[in-house]
Structure 1
């Protein structure tokens, strides 16, 4: 006889509905990605449209608008955090329920106002639409420039094909880092090209553009640039010899080693090193084209109102969407049997409009909380950056820390001091000798100021930087100074020493 034992266990489990998962995904998106997502929804959903010719209100960006928003949030009129974090619907509604929800839709006409659930949009109509493609300068890339210069060169079809292989293999820095044997398969050309043919094609390309293009390493790149200088250039020959065999000594300013290796005096060694330092180690970057999609569109604009810095939403960066009143009215009046597909599309349209409101509200609330805590930064810069953690903003706004993290990812604000990512204002806390605290960002700013003010011939080592910081009351270890110096992209003292 087989006995079967049953055991009951109670446990709590948190699960995210598809609506909430998509809402969190939209919150974490950058402005560009989110705009593309909304544009895709407008193109595929017949119940969505982009509003046009909506007059703007110039007072929305004034102090009265900022004060009204602050008072509204204090009274609880705006969206609360549970509404932002909670799904629009706790569970997915059925098609029948969605159809019933549509029946209560009020009568609308084309001339009547939009539904109460529509996104309240305003677009400035006193100027042309902002389009990066209209003003971004068109530029010719490295590969196209080389092909253009090759057109007038007399050569056989075989040689032209070899040069095309080399041009395609050049990287963004202008280097040929691929060996000749890997540029083309042996069975592509008959007979297979020899190293001499490849070298001849390479020499031709190296003479077509700026000196240093199509070099195979840094030494060859600098040598090509030195050889292109006039013969009467002082210390040119010595610089070529150094570039071919002792570049590491140039980086260390090891003039004594150069004097012993190349039998020259210190003045000649310094002149040759100075000549090498003036060359371009990445000649291909001057041909690099600018991708318009890499431009940053700030989500928030910070302005000074009275004596306080205020964060205002950048309405030009907010994508627009509203319900298509005509299609919604026709769908409401229709009485055909199969309504599930269209009811679902209408439900998704209304959900997207609400998601627009929730996303913009969340980002603006987080930005305002950041700006209110970092007032001194906008007055004095990074030196006055205060310690700030995600948990502090989350506790102040009543949000979850993960929501704040998503709201600060890939989001930017524009201020008179420049454009900064939201993450820039979050910095860990460091103790000071007086018992107070300062942020890691302010310490990095102090290190940068010290390095910028140092004597180039006697640069400050990490130990000396740590001592100077200690003199100002900031106690940090040498390795911490080294880490912060690397974060602000400053080389070591040995490499900063002037020649």
Structure 2
């Protein structure tokens, strides 16, 4: 029979203190998110004063590495006995960034936004068999305005293509139901009708509604509801369906020039002695303590003194966490800038292979800290505002002579962009060109990178080129 006994045993382990959790949480916030977080915390702590950003944010140069000792709480140091990534990486209280991994799939660039031609070419090939119909379809694509509707008279298209208006209209009506549905319409009503038909919801009530959109614009709902022969509930549901329609389905292809560029958290500038890293003064919040209020509370009753001491302790811990965040952010960014100086000067072709573990080793920080700091941070550079994670890339080749995967993708994109229309390159031909340039790369890797860039294969590109050539000839005929 087993003998049961009790034994006392002493072990060591990492304790997730409140200060540690707060420091880790602040690491992953952008400057704008940090300002919002501090403002919220100040509402519950009268000793905290959150001031708007000013133009005197600190900057680090070569001396930044001297600040390593005060960078993080001691219980976050990688040298702490018993501390490892597995010890606290899965702590449910922590919020991880979207890139807390060095898996290669997390570093693939986003496919470029599709153009109108890219969006419709495959649908044209599936729907139309003859070159004449395909030429008309391509001409209709060229005739689209920014909203996705046809802005060229059908008669004018018929004259330029040498086709009958009926043939053009037949092709246009078919393309009306291409994705996104509603493009190639001649009017707003026709655009909306196509979307109702695609959902199998087009009926006499919908037709009446679309025939009297001017009544809807003027707010004549009673008149419109009676014309549609609907009760109040059915009319409300019909309006709800109308709101779900897209009046400008072609706007998804427009270049987002009007979108406001996000403010970077830091800036990297190239100086003669090396890169200079500074916080963005336009977004960096200022946090101070209200010493006058603290002294007044200490001179009051015992409960007021206890409250003041508690809030002062919380505020001091928060101040230290914010300072540590700034040091960690600039320390990591400075080391990244040193490694990728040529990339900042010359572009993507000069991007060096770089991983989170390499930056962690050079800065002395824990790899998980580097991951959180770089997860969603933006940095202003001579090449524009870039995600800090865009400086990281896996490498190909022998150790010491590796080439960044992103740099190879840029080379592939350039080779395909420079190919002659009459001489479309296969993946084998691209691989040979890269190998001749000294890159150790295989065909399957070229195919993988080409697909990640959103570029079709050589057979597809040949077919697309034939369609474009036929369109050009038809336009000049």
- In 2, Cα distance between equivalents of 1:352 and 1:457: 64
Within the candidate set 320, 330, 340, 1:374 is matched to: 340
- Residue 413 of structure 2 is matched in structure 1 by 448
Within the candidate set 309, 318, 324, 1:358 is matched to: 324
- Residue 362 of structure 2 is matched in structure 1 by 396
- Residue 284 of structure 2 is matched in structure 1 by 318
Do residues 283 (structure 1) and 250 (structure 2) align? yes
SS of alignment partner, residue 316 of structure 1: coil
Report deviation, 1:349: 1.6
- Residue 19 of structure 1 is matched in structure 2 by 19
Question: Aligned in 2, Cα 1:331/1:363: closer, same or farther, shift over 3 Å?
Answer: same
Report deviation, 1:391: 0.8
User: What are structure 2's unaligned runs of at least 5 residues?
Assistant: 79-118, 120-143, 179-246, 469-477
Deviations 1:262-312 (A, max 9, x none): xxxxxxxxxxxxxxxxxx9942438999998x7422122111211533222
Question: Aligned in 2, Cα 1:66/1:344: closer, same or farther, shift over 3 Å?
Answer: closer
Within the candidate set 156, 168, 176, 1:232 is matched to: 156
Within the candidate set 481, 487, 490, 2:452 is matched to: 487
- Residue 63 of structure 2 is matched in structure 1 by 71
Quick check: 2:71–2:327 contact (8 Å CA) kept in 1?
no
- In 1, Cα distance between equivalents of 2:430 and 2:392: 24
Q: Which moved more, 1:337-346 or 1:412-421?
A: 337-346
Question: Aligned in 2, Cα 1:420/1:52: closer, same or farther, shift over 3 Å?
Answer: closer
- Residue 5 of structure 2 is matched in structure 1 by 5
Do residues 348 (structure 1) and 314 (structure 2) align? yes
- In 1, Cα distance between equivalents of 2:333 and 2:294: 35
- Residue 41 of structure 2 is matched in structure 1 by 41
Question: Aligned in 2, Cα 1:321/1:290: closer, same or farther, shift over 3 Å?
Answer: farther
- In 2, Cα distance between equivalents of 1:382 and 1:53: 33
Deviations 1:64-89 (A, max 9, x none): x645xx33633x586244559369xx
Q: Determine which structure has greater relative contact order: mean sequence separation of CA pairs < 8 Å that are 6+ residues apart, divided by chain length.
A: 2
Deviations 1:316-360 (A, max 9, x none): 221111111221121122233354444332222222111111101
The within-5 A match list for 1:107-146 is none
Report deviation, 1:444: 1.0
Normalising by structure 1, what TM-score?
0.57
The within-5 A match list for 1:410-449 is 410-431=376-397, 436-449=401-414
- Residue 466 of structure 1 is matched in structure 2 by 431
Question: Aligned in 2, Cα 1:13/1:247: closer, same or farther, shift over 3 Å?
Answer: farther
Normalising by structure 2, what TM-score?
0.59
Q: Which moved more, 1:335-344 or 1:316-325?
A: 335-344
SS of alignment partner, residue 231 of structure 1: helix
- In 2, Cα distance between equivalents of 1:288 and 1:344: 53
SS of alignment partner, residue 270 of structure 2: strand
Report deviation, 1:399: 0.9
Report deviation, 1:470: 1.3
Quick check: 1:427–1:439 contact (8 Å CA) kept in 2?
yes
Quick check: 2:51–2:285 contact (8 Å CA) kept in 1?
no
Quick check: 2:298–2:305 contact (8 Å CA) kept in 1?
no
- Residue 91 of structure 2 is matched in structure 1 by none
The within-5 A match list for 1:159-178 is none
SS of alignment partner, residue 317 of structure 1: coil
- Residue 383 of structure 1 is matched in structure 2 by 349
SS of alignment partner, residue 232 of structure 1: helix
- Residue 118 of structure 1 is matched in structure 2 by none
SS of alignment partner, residue 275 of structure 2: strand
Report deviation, 1:392: 1.0
